[in-house]
Structure 1
Amino acid sequence: MVTADNSPTGIDSTLFITVSGPPGCGATTLCERLSEEMNCPVVSGGDIFRDLAEDRDMSLNQLTAKADESDEIDRALDQRLQQIAEKWGMANKPFILESRLAGWLAGERADLRIWLDAPEDVRLERIADRGETEAEMRVREVSEAGRYRSYYEIDIDDREFDDLQINTARWSKNAVFTLVRTAIEEYEPELDEGSFSIPSVDP
């Protein structure tokens, strides 16, 4: 759809899209814009983590500490995300799932897997207002990578399965959205010969 001033608005699509990336990559910004333009729900791992904390009557810091003690919290989070992916994968409606493991957890149900990243110094500047230090961010990333490898034999740095990888520091927020929008609108399932098989993940 194009408005009178020739600027496009809305995205007509039924794609199930996953968005992943490290802290400060711009995933939240992109997902919010996509959700608005596609008129569809977006669920993030952060949302589910907050739900888990509420279910257990714990603060986010308390739940984070518990997650470091055992695999219970991580697996509960991943199970919920996988259940959501299964539900929306059968709905034939547009949907966005955002988490570090979204592309893996959605498996073959996802139509388009997007990985966002940016240089570390850029990401640090972006998350400065969250109160997370450089050391904390690095520890978290290393810790998560180790847990994913231990739980699921997943190498989080393996980008083979991602359909679109974007360094969000090289373009404006609007330009990043435009790149993704183009990929969505130009996608034709009947011409798709490039999808990689995703190993199953069992949280």
Structure 2
Amino acid sequence: MAVQDSSSAEIDTTLFITVSGPPGCGATTLCERLADAIGCPYVSGGDIFRELAADRDMNLNQLTAKADESDEIDRALDERLQQIAEKWGMANKPFILESRLAGWLAGDRADLRIWLDAPEHVRLERIDDRVETEAEMRVREVSEAGRYQSYYEIDIDDQAFYDLQINTARWSKTGVFAIVKAAIEEYDPGIDEGAFTTPPMDV
């Protein structure tokens, strides 16, 4: 009997899913596979950030530098992501939102909130072929964490409200997808006793 490749398996769901994690955690890979398997839209905070840069006729480095100077860019990004979350939270259709703050921004509108992570040395190897350097990644992580705390009083390390946390260094890309796929397919709202409450976030 042939075994179906789980990486191409279809998923029948209407869940609104958020995926978050630090650079190199594997969020983009997972979201692309999920969106393809579910057949649903997928919005990335990185894509919105690039749109904001284009709107301002700036490159990504310029916009990142400006984001460090004031809260204008971060708040514009987060407001746009929150509007997207509000729209899809009421749609009763499958959707995937990915960003460091996706779980916070979607709040209780999200049906499944996922946090991905991996040890730093693994994440650094994964971003080795990107434009971003190791030093830049570390600076960005510290900078973002400080801004989230300053703007929203959010501790990005507080992951208590996530429904699923995965160390993506422990499984292959297909394995991580299979874990999330199983969680989605086994979800039954009839026996759901309740998600953890997402801390409020005022953008």
Normalised-by-shorter TM-score class: over 0.9
CA-CA distance at 1:94 after TM superposition: 0.4
TM-score after normalising by structure 2: 0.96
* SS at structure 1 position matched to 2:58: coil
* SS at structure 1 position matched to 2:129: helix
Q: Residues of 1 paired with 2:122 and 2:194: CA distance?
A: 32
Q: Does 1:103 align with 2:103?
A: yes
Q: Residues of 2 paired with 1:122 and 1:186: CA distance?
A: 30
The structure 2 residue matched to 1:5, chosen from 2, 6, 26, is 2
Q: Residues of 2 paired with 1:91 and 1:194: CA distance?
A: 20
Which residue of the partner structure matches residue 165 of structure 1? 165
Which residue of the partner structure matches residue 85 of structure 1? 85
* Residue pairs, 1:82-161, within 5 angstroms: 82-161=82-161
Q: Residues of 2 paired with 1:200 and 1:135: CA distance?
A: 32
Q: CA RMSD in A?
A: 1.1
Which residue of the partner structure matches residue 17 of structure 1? 17
Q: Residues of 1 paired with 2:90 and 2:35: CA distance?
A: 19
Q: How many residues align?
A: 200
Q: Residues of 1 paired with 2:37 and 2:14: CA distance?
A: 12
CA-CA distance at 1:6 after TM superposition: 4.2
CA-CA distance at 1:99 after TM superposition: 0.1
Per-residue CA deviations over 1:58-86 (Å, capped at 9, x if unaligned) read: 11111111111000000000000000000
Where structure 2 has 5 or more consecutive residues not aligned to the other structure, the ranges are: none
Q: Residues of 2 paired with 1:5 and 1:36: CA distance?
A: 22
Per-residue CA deviations over 1:125-150 (Å, capped at 9, x if unaligned) read: 00011132222111111111111111
CA-CA distance at 1:5 after TM superposition: 3.2
Per-residue CA deviations over 1:99-124 (Å, capped at 9, x if unaligned) read: 00000000110000000000100000
